[in-house]
Amino acid sequence: MVTLRELKRDAAKLVDSVPYQLIKDSPSMKYYTDWSAYEECRGAGIGHVPNIDAQVMIRDGELIKNEVGAQVLGDGDELPINTIDLKETKMMIKHVLNLSSIIYLDIKPGLERLSLSINSTGGGGLKSSHVLIQVRDGATVDLSIMESGNACSSSVVELLIGRGARVNLLNASLQVSNPTYSLRRVTVMDNSAINSYTVVLDGSMNRLEEDYLLRGNYSNVASKVLETGTSKSRIDYYSTMLHLGESSRSYSTVYGIALDGAIIIHRGMGKITEAGKWSSTVVEGKLFMGSRDAVAVSVPIIAVDTGDVSEARHSAMDASIDDDQLFYLSSRGLGRDEVISLVALDMAMKYLDETPQQFNNETRIIREIMEQRIVRN
């Protein structure tokens, strides 16, 4: 096992040689993520940040509430989970170098509910939080991760789902006018399953990566995502479904709403390796643009390294209100902005209606924030 001190030592050696990104994203937009936002890392953004209560609360990387026996791992403590590669991106190196500790949560059979809140507050510099979550073999848990803030921040959650375990996950990144980088890396073992709902809202630069490593045979991932950008926000959501176990299944659907002058990006990779025979992967993107100034891009990708595959498909679509629809609705007294707000809000609420009722407290907070951002007088 590696320690945090050893990770920091290795990160310090690489900080000057590893770039944020090696390959350009597109001819028209060099990088979907504006990495300079994390270099400048200005102080607090403008806007209200909700106070989200939870069983475990982390503020600016420090554990401030602990109802379930979370452990604080210091520089010399061995890390029971380590799935990150420092050579992936300079952002990961900056994140590790900025850590003072790592929080470890051990979920055993019998702990049916766990809520986690990660908050970043004002002040200059990068605010970093890192959490390790181990779901033991055979456990069943409803897990919520609510990330919010108005400061330049980074957060990493590494989640290991043991054999035969079942996880319902609600993962939310609720930002204001601040840059934030988030990574959720989930390792799924034999006969285990995760049903995941992810909400990404606003941020001057909001980069969220979700990596699902299906290492186990007959492992299963179902992921539904809603990314919503208002005002001048910029969101880059990137997901990976990597099939390493035989007869594994993954399904990813991303819904996107781009309003005002927002930019939202969806990139999804479904990859079946040679070891992942008889597996299936589906990646879909469905985006709505509510303004001529808004940008919405969906890039689903499928890669298959074996001829023995059950299913592999991807699709992308985008939509907007056309002039005929606007004319019809305006003749009934509705203005363009009102129509766009109603359509966007309906999409968001329908998504939240599908989340498991165990997360009603969290979705209530999300609903209130989204209504304030989408519907404006």
pLDDT tens column, 19-41: 999 888 887 778 899 999 998 88
**377: confidence class by pLDDT, cuts 50, 70, 90:** very low
Segment 116-175, tens digit of pLDDT: 999 998 777 899 999 999 999 999 999 999 999 888 999 999 999 999 999 999 999 999
**Residue indicated by tokens 């019809």:** 328
At 86 the three-state DSSP class reads coil
Segment 43-81, tens digit of pLDDT: 555 666 667 999 999 999 999 999 999 999 999 999 999
Longest pairwise C-alpha distance within the chain: 68
Segment 79-130, tens digit of pLDDT: 999 999 999 999 999 999 999 999 999 999 999 999 999 999 877 789 999 9
> Rounded distance, CA 51 to CA 49, Å?
7
Question: What average pLDDT does this structure show over 258-264?
Answer: 97
> Rounded distance, CA 201 to CA 187, Å?
25
Encoding tokens for residue 246?
């035989």
- Whether the model clears a pTM of 0.75, i.e. scores above it, the answer is yes
Count how many Cα atoms sit within 13 Å of the Cα of residue 144 in the half-sphere of its side chain.
24
- 203 near 232, Cβ under 8 Å? no
For residue 47, the model assigns a pLDDT of 65
For residue 121, the model assigns a pLDDT of 86
Q: Tell me how crowded residue 10 is: count the other CB atoms within 10 A of its CB.
A: 14
**Residue indicated by tokens 């035989």:** 246
Encoding tokens for residue 98?
């900025």
User: What is the residue-averaged pLDDT of the chain?
Assistant: 94
Encoding tokens for residue 375?
């519907």
Residue 257 has pLDDT above 60, yes or no: yes
